[in-house]
Amino acid sequence: MKTNIRLAVFDCDGTLVDSQHMINSCMIDAFESVKLAPPPLSEVRRIVGLPLAGAIRVLCGNDEAAPVDEMVNAYSNSWQSMRLKGDLSEPLYEGIPALLEALRDDGWTLGVATGKSMRGLEATLAHHDLASHFVTLQTADKARGKPDPQMLHFAMGEAGADAENSVMIGDTTFDIEMANAASVRALGVAWGYHAPTELMTAGAETVAEEVSDLLSILKS
């Protein structure tokens, strides 16, 4: 049954918050924990958005002998240690709170689909006092990770929205591919971790250059 609910689902890392420094720091710890040379930041940026185990596997060259589980634990422990010490820095991109409020006032239902764990996502949203904006939260430890469309299917199910009235907003080709697989609108953002040209090639409808551009794009 079709509904009139308009659902906008946001990626988190690289779209709502800039967690690049923390991701790279934790990835270095993960590699060093098993005495492997850490990958350069340019390679780490390429895998942001994937589920953690899958991201590490890619950075290990898909080596079946890589101790992925051990590295996942080291990464997670590093992240939690920084959070407990108050050293975790995931600043919001400028204009995000105002955008979310404007979309909500305009009648949009909001959600998040991210490669983060649910614990990590909830902590990030709570830190920035954003949790109340979202009615559905989808994470890679609760559903199949990007670019599989399952998170978007779950989000639409929870929100009571259909694909025709839903949109995915993200900064990586994984977000765009997931949106296309779920038959929802795919909007890219230029301030994250993959280049706008890559997002368009992956099938984005358009790429917002500034956070403020998203409101006018979504009203079009």
Nearest of 26, 175, 11, 174 to residue 89 by alpha carbon = 26
pLDDT digits (tens, 9 = 90+) for 136-156: 999 999 999 999 999 999 999
pLDDT digits (tens, 9 = 90+) for 27-79: 999 999 999 999 999 999 999 989 999 999 999 999 999 999 999 999 999 98
Whole-angstrom CA distances from 161 to 41, 110, 143, 155, 199 are 37, 11, 18, 8, 25
* Active site residue ranges: 11, 13
Domains and CATH numbers, the chain: 7-18+91-219 (3.40.50.1000), 20-85 (1.10.150)
Q: In sequence order, which residues have a C-beta less than 8 Å from that of residue 220 and are 6 or more positions away?
A: none
Quick one: 56 exposed, middle or buried, by C-beta within 10 A (0-12, 13-18, 19+)?
buried
pLDDT digits (tens, 9 = 90+) for 4-20: 899 999 999 999 999 98
- Rounded percentage of the chain residues whose pLDDT exceeds 90: 85
